[in-house]
Every structure is written in C-alpha cells, then in structure tokens.
Amino acid sequence: MTAAPALAPLEISGRQELTFAKALNLAMADAMAEDPTVLVFGEDVGTLGGVFRITDGLKQRFGEERCFDTPLAESGIVGMATGMAINGMRPVVEMQFDAFAYPAFEQIASHVAKMGNRTRGRVRLPLVIRIPYAGGIGGVEHHCDSSEGYYVQTPGLTVLTPSTISDAYILLRDAIASPDPVVFMEPKKLYFSKGSVDVDELRARYASAARTGGAAAGPSTIGQAAVIRAGTDATLIAYGPSVAPALAAAETAATEGRSLQVIDVRSLVPYDEATIDAAVRATGRAVVIAEAPGFASMAAEIAAGIQERCFHSLAAPVLRVTGFDVPYPAPKLEHYYLPGVDRILDAVDRLQWEQS
C-alpha cells in the first residue's frame, strides 16, 4: 500500500456542539488529512462507519485504501497493523467491543508491546488500538468489560482513556502522533454525550506538527492527569467512565458542606504520580473510583502507590469504589455493579473524619 497525498481538514471550525463520538471521528479525520500514513481499519468501520459510527464518513472521504473493513479476526487485525507500522504506516484499528479484543491479546502482549524492546529501539510501532469499553449501556457480557487491567499490566504499551469531549479529540490525536503503540480505551457510554468545544483551539495544538512534521504545539496529554475540580477535604481519583459519577458525588458533597477535589487520571500508562500525589498530600484523604473489578486492578495500583508515597500525609487509609469481583452482570443489574454517587459518598464518609 502506498501513502496517499494529504488532504484539507473537514470544513468544521469555531465553537461547536460535538458528541464524544464526533470528537473521536474528527480527531481521526484531521490526523488522516494531515498525515497520509495514517489509516483506519477494523470490523465494519468502512461502509457502516463502525457499530457506534465512530468512523462514519472516513471511507467516503479518504477512500477504501485508507479506511476499510476487515474479516472478523481480531488477531489478524492487530497482526496486520503491526506489519504496517513496521513498514512506515500509522494504523488506527478498532476492536468492536472490549471483550472482542481478547483474541488479539497474544499479538498485543507478545509482539506489539515488545517490539521496541526486542529490537533495542530500532523498530518502534506507531499504532493505535481503539477499544470501546466499560458498561452503562445495558449490554451483556463480552460488551461491557473494563479490560484496562490487562493492558496496564503489559510493559511496552501506553494506555489512555478520555472522559470529556475535548480530551476525546486531544488524547486520540496524541495517541496517533505517538511513536509507540497506544491502547486507547473509549468509554462507550460517553459516545453520545455532548459538549461545546472550540474546534480551532483543539486543532491549533497540532498546527505546527502538521506544517513541520514535528511535535504538537501543546503539551502531550500522555502521562498527564488533570485536576478537574478543586477541593480541600478529600481527593476523588477517577478515569474514563467513572469521572462523571465522581464529579456528581463532589457536587452532592458540596451541598452537605464537604469540599471534594476530583482528579481525572486520563493516562493510565504512563501514570502521572506527581499530580496525583500532590493532590492527595494537599487534602490528606483519597478515594479511587473505577468500574473494573477491584481485585488486582488499576484502582488497586493507584491506591497502593499513594499509600507508599504519601503515607505521612494521609489522615485515613485510601479507599476504593469499584465494580464487584464478578463477571459483568445482566443489564437490569448493572446499576448495582457500577460505582455511583451513593457508593462514592459512603466511602467518603468512612475516611475517619472523627480524627480531624
């Protein structure tokens, strides 16, 4: 396959009301327009535009050589992406649902993650594996797994997960620009959430890179957590689909006279321990919130790290609010499983306030 010439960006500009899905679509379209080596493929991503329509219109705009459907063979999709990345392309592949990616895990863990180390950095793989994940859509098993734990436990992978419209665009652009493989976890329940963003401002971060082929103008979000709500009494640490309930809990707590800070981790690997540790040291109390089962999880790692590094600043043990250690439940039961405002506030109440 030969690289196609660069194209002009989509005619969309200024402040726009975008869905999370459209922000992801725009990120891929802009990256494909600026860099002819970027291409998109996966199951039903071409003609249909993906089951969640995240790739809608890309085949029509860029042609079937740069956005195309594949057989139902996830291992083959990632294997082909690996070969393309070795030969100078920047593939962005879609796993249709979280658990559908498991057949590709051997390729991801044994080859994608290890190629750079295996070749002492001589062969790097600039590819992105997009994975819709987590629950909240009334789906059944194989459609609602929080599978980030498998990827964060695999050295050699960068793992990102956005929670806002603007981060959907920015994190995906940063993932595509990365010289190394990125697993990009998309909270599917956020796909059709809406927000107002300045498209020109988002694109400006990458304008110099488009002109020069160099780094983006703005700082990369890879390895950067964000403090998204100020607070002084305790810190809520969340990522992806759990950020919204964390913010809602903080809003409710404020009406009860308690000030909760909220951190969006955004980049699971590399992990921004400097920002998160500084936040926890300032409040002295922390609750980690995640949809995945809690045992041996990302939430467990965050809690353990804080207790190791911030022990002398803590007024109470770090607590976790997570999914339960069971297979994902049937749709009518998922509201019991997912971390919600009540469970988060119950954990906050257990942060040993009587010792203040």
Residues labelled catalytic: 143
Distance CA 15, CA 7 (A): 22
Distance CA 285, CA 254 (A): 16
The residue to which tokens 């291992």 are assigned: 75
Asked if 318 and 286 touch (Cβ cutoff 8 Å), the reply is yes
Residues 135, 138, 140, CA angle at the centre, nearest 5°?
Answer: 80
Distance CA 87, CA 126 (A): 10
Q: Give which of 345, 298, 3, 305 is closest to 159, Cα–Cα.
A: 298
Which residues does residue 227 pair with via DSSP β-bridges, in sequence order?
263
Query: 298: which 2 tokens?
Result: 């990302």
Asked if 238 and 291 touch (Cβ cutoff 8 Å), the reply is no
Sequence length of the chain is: 356
Question: To which H or E segment does residue 40 belong?
Answer: strand 38-42
**Alpha carbon 45 to chain centroid, angstroms:** 19
Distance CA 229, CA 223 (A): 19
Q: Give which of 59, 57, 154, 49 is closest to 101, Cα–Cα.
A: 154
Asked if 163 and 244 touch (Cβ cutoff 8 Å), the reply is yes
**Alpha carbon 340 to chain centroid, angstroms:** 20
- Per DSSP, the three-state class of 29 is helix
Distance CA 289, CA 322 (A): 6
Residue-wise burial string across 256-275, b where 16 or more C-beta atoms lie within 10 A, e elsewhere: eebebbbbbbbbbbebbbeb
